[in-house]
């Protein structure tokens, strides 16, 4: 697993360097994003993006569990800009009983290209109708430009 991640990290690192000149193809982004997802996200959000059990109700600590990213969830309702911000800056529900970020901040751990790659992978888990909705939401709120 570590070797796979290392190889994919190399791909993504190269992609980061090349991004300004030659954008990655969607297939390359999806492939890289899938690897990043399995490494960094799947333990909470599920290997297939199915989310934690009973994710709509607070758990014993009073925290909302990790939601699904597949078509059963609501990730597809968020614009690219919002998804990018949440991955980079983390998130906690305003009514959680704890103060910690239940969604950790990946700023400093995932580059701009890596963040875009993992979000691009998430889009493969949605229905065409959901992808269309999300594309329209992202028109006004696209991925940030110039972020590291």
Partner 1 sequence: MSIALRPIWHRPAVVATLLLAGSFAIGSAAAAGKIIAPSAKIVALDFDVDNNALFKAYSRTLYLSRTEGRDWEAIALPNVINRGHITSISIPAKSRGVLYVAGPGFGVLRSEDDGRRWNAINSGLPSNDVVALSSHADQPETLYVLVARRGIFRSEDAGSHWRLMDTGPRAKVVQFVHSNMPGSMQTGWLFAATARGVSRSMDCFCGWRDAGALGRPVTAVAYQRAHPKEVYAAAKDALFFSADGGEHWSPLPSPGHNVSALVATPAGTLYAAVSSGGLFRSADAGMTWHRVDE
The residue ranges that bind partner 1 (CB under 8 A) are 56, 67, 74, 77-78, 82, 86, 91, 94-95, 136, 140
Q: Residue 88 Cβ, how far from partner 1 at the closest point, in Å?
A: 14
Q: Residue 94 Cβ, how far from partner 1 at the closest point, in Å?
A: 3
Nearest residue to 96 (alpha-carbon basis) of 45, 57, 44, 58: 58
For residues 26 and 136, which CB has a smaller minimum distance to partner 1 in the complex? 136
Structure tokens at 42: 């799947």
DSSP designation for 41: I
Q: Can you tell me whether residue 107 is helix, strand or coil?
A: strand
For residues 43 and 72, which CB has a smaller minimum distance to partner 1 in the complex? 72
For residues 53 and 74, which CB has a smaller minimum distance to partner 1 in the complex? 74
Angstrom distance (rounded) from CA 6 to CA 16: 15
Cα dihedral angle (20, 25, 27, 33), rounded to 10 degrees? 10
Q: Residue 89 Cβ, how far from partner 1 at the closest point, in Å?
A: 11
For residues 30 and 66, which CB has a smaller minimum distance to partner 1 in the complex? 66
């Amino acid at each position: 697993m570590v070797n796979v991640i290392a190889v994919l990290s190399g791909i993504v690192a190269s992609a980061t360097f090349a991004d300004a000149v030659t954008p990655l193809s969607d297939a390359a982004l999806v492939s890289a994003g899938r690897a990043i997802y399995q490494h960094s996200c799947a333990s909470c959000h599920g290997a297939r993006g199915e989310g934690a059990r009973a994710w709509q109700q607070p758990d014993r600590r009073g925290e909302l569990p990790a939601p699904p990213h597949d078509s059963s969830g609501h990730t597809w309702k968020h614009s690219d800009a919002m998804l990018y911000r949440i991955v980079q800056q983390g998130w906690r529900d305003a009514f959680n009983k704890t103060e910690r970020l239940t969604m950790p901040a990946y700023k400093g751990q995932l580059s701009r290209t890596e963040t875009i790659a993992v979000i691009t992978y998430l889009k493969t888990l949605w229905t065409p109708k959901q992808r269309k909705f999300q594309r329209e939401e992202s028109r006004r709120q696209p991925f940030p430009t110039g972020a590291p």
